[in-house]
Amino acid sequence: MLYNELLYQKPFFILGPCVIENENLIFQTAEFLIKLKEKYKINIILKSSFDKANRTSINSFRGPGINEGIKIFKKIKEKFNLPILTDIHLPDQATLIAEAVDIIQIPAFLCRQTDLLIAAGQTNKIVNIKKGQFLDAESMKYAVLKIESTGNKKILLTERGTTFGYNNLVVDFRNFIIMKTLGYPIVFDATHSVQRPSAQNGKSGGDSHFVPYLARAAAAIPVDGFFFEIHPEPDKALSDGPNMVNFKTIDNIISDILKITNSLKESL
């Protein structure tokens, strides 16, 4: 049912903090997302990670772990009835997390990991595959084929920038058009696309002020969905603060995106 909604009611939005810092933050975010959903009449999926296994430093905060993450996600579902997306890093996490979420995400760094993709596909959940920073768009067909081999064709493909020298990313907007030919909804991760990986002495930096501009450009293509990491106070976030946007900013960005997409519909 959810996948059909994402296919036909576009654009949809995947929003939430990078990592589950605490239960209060997730509930605060969910309450805000419900208000956005009602205000704009859009499909919203809550996202957050139970474990950030790819942090730059061994000393960085990773999250509460899968068991606590499942408990928190179930509470969110019960109270707010929001669809939930989270990422996995190991094949054996797929079945465990499937009981609590609607979309399983494959991190960009792991998009070639065959066992991980197959495990996610076998849950029969929607699988969001992030394009690796090191991949060209055409190569995403191989990740798609791995999911399809399980009989699961509920797939999303997400662009999140391409490595451009050291500690920098750039968005090639041709990638959206190329990946559309694979036949699945295309998502733009506007916040990770402005990340500066490992650029701040053991942690990643970012240029969040570019996020609204890139999002508006992607809306004009148009893409099918948008992914934004949001936080009430990005400067105090425990992970990816420099590339996240606050609640007021995401409200304004969504308003701009809908104006663009609606104007495109009217011109057809």
Q: Which domains does the chain have, with CATH numbers?
A: 2-267 (3.20.20.70)
Give the pLDDT band (50/70/90) at residue 203: low
Residue 199: the pLDDT is 59
Give the pLDDT confidence of 78-99 residue by residue, as tens digits. 999 999 999 999 999 999 999 9
Tokens describing residue 124: 């029969």
Percent of the chain with pLDDT over 70: 98
Token readout for 150 is: 């399980």
Written as six digits, the tokens of 136 are 């060209």
Q: Can you give the chain as a three-state secondary structure string?
A: CHHHHHHHCCCEEEEECCECCCHHHHHHHHHHHHHHHHHHCCCEEEECECCCCCCCCCCCCCCCCHHHHHHHHHHHHHHHCCCEEEECCCCCHHHHHHCCCCEEEECHHHCCCHHHHHHHHHCCCEEEEECCCCCCHHHHHHHHHHHHCCCCCCEEEEECCEECCCCCEECCCHHHHHHHCCCCCEEEECCHHHEECCCCCCCCEECHHHHHHHHHHHHCCCCCEEEEEECCCHHHCCCCHHHCECHHHHHHHHHHHHHHHHHHHHHC
CB 104 within 8 A of CB 123: yes
- Mean pLDDT for 209-235 is 97
What is the distance between the alpha carbons of residues 56 and 201, in angstroms, rounded to a whole number? 9
Residue 201 has pLDDT above 80, yes or no: no
Q: How high is the pLDDT of residue 59?
A: 80
For strand 195-196 and strand 162-163, is the pairing parallel, antiparallel, or unpaired? unpaired
pLDDT in tens, 26-78: 999 999 999 999 999 999 999 999 998 887 788 888 999 999 999 999 999 99
Distance CA(20)–CA(164), nearest Å, equals 29
Which of 28-32, 135-139, 199-203 shows the lowest mean pLDDT across its residues? 199-203
pLDDT digits (tens, 9 = 90+) for 156-170: 999 999 999 998 999
- Confidence band (pLDDT; 50, 70, 90) for 218? very high
